[in-house]
């Protein structure tokens, strides 16, 4: 959903401008409306901010009809999750069956009854929002709001493949809070949780778009630094290491150890890359903690 405007966004697609106007009139108090009068344009608008939360799609249109638009939207991962409702004068069962088979969530026939269109749009947008929320919860660590291990496992291979393809440097950093068990033992688990949130805040504040910051579990975090060579990674990590040392969350002295490694030609999967970072953080522990090792 569009973050700058609370209203969900509905894209209306119909080759007849008067039809769009009619539907817009009874939706525009509740929704932000985008319009397209031809198929190609609707595909563009589906990936342009504000991204639609739902698409109302006419079937009979010149050049690219609604079925083709629907197929194209469902084939593209970026748009496949946007619910589509066909709005059409074609009221025979075979057409409706085809529309639903193509992945539309609903099929509304003309003449339109405004209250019914509104109710169906409302219902499908609510479902979409609930689905988005669940998806987000499955990928985000609830304590720190960093990404979770599941997200990392899903996304890291793509990052690695991209970095190899574009010959772009990629660094991985393992972060493990020092003597965190004592923090819990001395100050209690709730304070421990607050420390984790504060440390996560420092990590998050020092990542750029394209980086991934994830909580692996417990007091362990992982950073993937995109377009970042080892020298840049080390200077960034030194900054983070120092910021954590100076943070004193809840008045508690906290430090962390860091293992940094760069993606190498022979890293064909996540595991070999990850093992080096993990080894490096162990070395940092062995060498006295609150430090960075490669
Ligand atoms: P080291 O410097 O060697 O890393 O020592 P450590 O005490 O940090 O490492 P260890 O792995 O022995 O302990 C990690 C502790 O983290 C143990 C566990 O009680 C605590 N922990 C794990 N998950 C959570 C959590 O969600 N909240 C809190 N408060 N503590 C957690
Ligand atoms: Mg038409
Ligand atoms: Mg640990
Ligand atoms: Mg441990
Ligand atoms: Mg630890």
User: ipTM of the assembly?
Assistant: 0.95
Which of 60, 154, 219, 293 does the annotation list as catalytic? 219
Give this prediction's pTM.
0.73
Residue 5: pLDDT above 80? Answer: no
Q: How far is the CA of 108 from the centre of ligand 2 (A)?
A: 14
Other beta carbons within 10 angstroms of residue 4's beta carbon come to 6
CB of 255 closer than 6 A to ligand 1? no
Predicted pLDDT of residue 1? 45
Report residues near ion ligand 2: CB below 5 Å.
Answer: 15, 58, 60-61
Residue 271: pLDDT above 90? Answer: yes
Q: How far is the CA of 264 from the centre of ligand 3 (A)?
A: 25
CA distance readout (Å), 268 to 168, 211, 239: 15, 20, 30
CA distance readout (Å), 246 to 48, 91, 252: 42, 68, 10
Please, where are the H alpha helices in 65-172? 66-75, 93-101, 114-139, 149-165
> Is 250 part of the annotated catalytic residue set?
no
Question: Considering the chain, what is the average pLDDT of its residues?
Answer: 95
Q: How far is the CA of 198 from the centre of ligand 4 (A)?
A: 19
139-191 pLDDT, tens per residue?
999 999 999 999 999 999 999 999 999 999 999 999 999 999 999 999 999 99
Residue 195 CA to residue 193 CA, distance in Å, equals 5
CA distance readout (Å), 196 to 3, 163, 281: 27, 30, 18
Residue 136: pLDDT above 90? Answer: no
Residue 275: pLDDT above 80? Answer: yes
C-beta separation of 50 from 25 below 8 A: no
CB of 150 closer than 6 A to ligand 1? no
């Amino acid at each position: 959903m569009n973050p700058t405007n609370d209203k969900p966004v509905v894209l209306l697609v119909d080759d007849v401008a008067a039809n769009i106007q009619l539907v817009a009139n009874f939706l525009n108090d509740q929704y932000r409306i985008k319009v397209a009068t031809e198929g190609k344009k609707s595909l563009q608008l589906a990936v342009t901010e504000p991204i639609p939360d739902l698409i109302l799609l006419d079937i009979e249109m010149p050049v690219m009809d609604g079925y083709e638009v629907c197929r194209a939207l469902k084939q593209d991962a970026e748009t496949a999750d946007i619910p589509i409702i066909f709005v059409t004068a074609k009221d025979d069962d075979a057409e409706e069956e085809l529309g639903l088979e193509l992945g539309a969530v609903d099929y509304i026939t003309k003449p339109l009854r405004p209250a019914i269109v509104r109710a169906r749009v409302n219902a499908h947008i609510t479902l979409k929002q609930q689905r988005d929320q669940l998806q987000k919860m499955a990928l985000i660590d609830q304590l720190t709001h960093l990404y979770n291990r599941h997200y990392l496992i899903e996304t890291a291979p793509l990052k690695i493949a991209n970095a190899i393809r574009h010959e772009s440097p990629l660094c991985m950093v393992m972060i493990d809070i020092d003597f965190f068990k004592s923090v819990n033992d001395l100050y209690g688990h709730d304070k421990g949780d607050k420390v984790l949130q504060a440390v996560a805040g420092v990590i998050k504040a020092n990542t750029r778009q394209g980086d991934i910051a994830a909580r692996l579990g417990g007091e362990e975090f992982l950073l993937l630094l995109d377009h970042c060579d080892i020298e840049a990674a080390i200077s960034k990590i030194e900054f983070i290491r120092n910021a954590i040392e100076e943070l004193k969350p809840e008045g508690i002295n906290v430090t962390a150890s860091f293992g940094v490694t760069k993606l190498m030609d022979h890293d064909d999967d996540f595991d070999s890359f990850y093992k080096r970072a993990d080894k490096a953080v162990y070395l940092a522990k062995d060498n006295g903690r609150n430090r960075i090792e490669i």
